[in-house]
Structure 1
Amino acid sequence: MGTTEQTLPFFTQFFQFQASYGDLPTFLFFVIAMAIVTSYLILSIPFSIVCIARPFAIGARLLLIIFDIVMVTLTTSVVGSSAAIVYLAHNGNSNANWLAICQQFDDFCQRISRAMVAAFITVVLLFFMVVLSTVALRKH
């Protein structure tokens, strides 16, 4: 999503239409939130290893689950809001007089759609990670 942009010429090379992820605040929010989630997941790896090595460290595991839930919530909110904008890009809204831009910016729309699919998969994986963590915590 962070590199998604497309430029279309209009009559001449001097007058062009451009679509970029930075043009829409929702996509900018998507990029920033997913960077935060990715950074958290990378930084939580050593903490998770400690929790695996010391299975009776209930406080550390509980803290890890709380932060995992926060990351699932952040990811779900950013995916939901971005999916609404992708829907508008594909279909438009005749009541608000918004046109579908995907007929002109097809490469841009394909890339943001792929980013949405990957983000939805991320939400499902994070959700299962939280469920597995809570089941493991309950066993101890």
Structure 2
Amino acid sequence: MESSHSTKSNPETAIHITESKSAKGKSAAAPVAITATTKATTTSYQKGGWKRGVAIFDFILRLCALIAALAATVTMGTTDQTLPFFTQFFQFQASYDDLPAFTYFVVANAIASGYLVLSLPFSIVCIVRPHVAGARLLLLIFDTMLVAFTTAAAASAAAIVYLAHNGNQNTNWLAICQQFTDFCQRVSGAVVASFIAAVIFTFLVVLSAVALRRH
């Protein structure tokens, strides 16, 4: 006896998964967090790049100041001229160590040259790690001291050079540059080089101050 089975078609069952509010919040916050992190990284990179550029310029200026201060030291320290004519009792000679102002000039520029050599590693640290403020602050303090030091040395030597070129009738100081031409040319060049070093030191102070101000 055959039994007939009636088959009934089952309707398709749809399963709806409702996204929870917490999942929505996390998915919405993720792009915002990534965007904020990307913006912060980009800003930090740009800021670091700007400071690195300032540090590289600082290093170049230090090399220029070292050349100027060293040239001033060597030129003044080797300045010596003896006139071809002399008497039995007098020999006409001019040397830098005859004047205390020139001696101070040589010492001051020699110290400035030594400091610039020692400051180069700190300047390199500022290039490698532009966000480090300690090395920059240390350079700013010593650069400010060297501005005054080199300016005083150059100014005192410039006063003597002026008297050597023009003399002073009120005090009966004669202009010796008409006889000691080579001596005056060398000391004048040394004074100019020292003033260049002082100006570069001033730029270094300004650069360090700006870099620390925008730290």
TM-score by length of 1: 0.93
Alpha-carbon distance, 1:107 to partner: 0.5
Alpha-carbon distance, 1:60 to partner: 2.3
Percent identity over the alignment is 70
Choose between structure 1 and 2: higher strand proportion.
Answer: 1
1:139 paired to 2:207: no
Q: Is the 8 A contact 2:126 2:136 kept in 1?
A: yes
> Which of 193, 207, 214 is the matching residue for 1:118?
193
Structure 2: tracts of 5 or more residues without a match: 1-75
Aligned to 1:88: 163
Q: C-alpha deviations, 1:33-85, integer Å up to 9, x for none?
A: 00000000001101111122222222221111000111111001101111001
Give distance in 2, aligned partners of 1:51 and 1:81. Answer: 34
Q: Relative to 1, partners in 2 of residues 1:16 and 1:58: Cα closer, same or farther, differing over 3 Å?
A: same
Displacement over 6 Å in runs of 4+: none
Q: Is the 8 A contact 1:9 1:15 kept in 2?
A: no
Alpha-carbon distance, 1:137 to partner: 1.6
> Which of 39, 42, 64 is the matching residue for 2:114?
39
> Which of 91, 94, 99 is the matching residue for 1:19?
94
Q: Is the 8 A contact 2:86 2:92 kept in 1?
A: no
Give distance in 1, aligned partners of 2:105 and 2:163. Answer: 16
Q: How many residues align?
A: 140
> Which of 46, 59, 62 is the matching residue for 2:134?
59
Structure 1: tracts of 5 or more residues without a match: none
Tell me the SS of whatever aligns to 2:178: coil
Which is greater in Rg? Answer: 2
Give distance in 2, aligned partners of 1:50 and 1:123. Answer: 23
1:10 paired to 2:85: yes
Q: C-alpha deviations, 1:96-140, integer Å up to 9, x for none?
A: 111111011011001111111111111111111211121122121
Alpha-carbon distance, 1:12 to partner: 5.2
User: More deviation in 117-126 or 9-18?
Assistant: 9-18
C-alpha RMSD over aligned residues: 1.5
Give distance in 2, aligned partners of 1:80 and 1:132. Answer: 24
Aligned to 1:69: 144
> Which of 120, 129, 135 is the matching residue for 2:204?
129
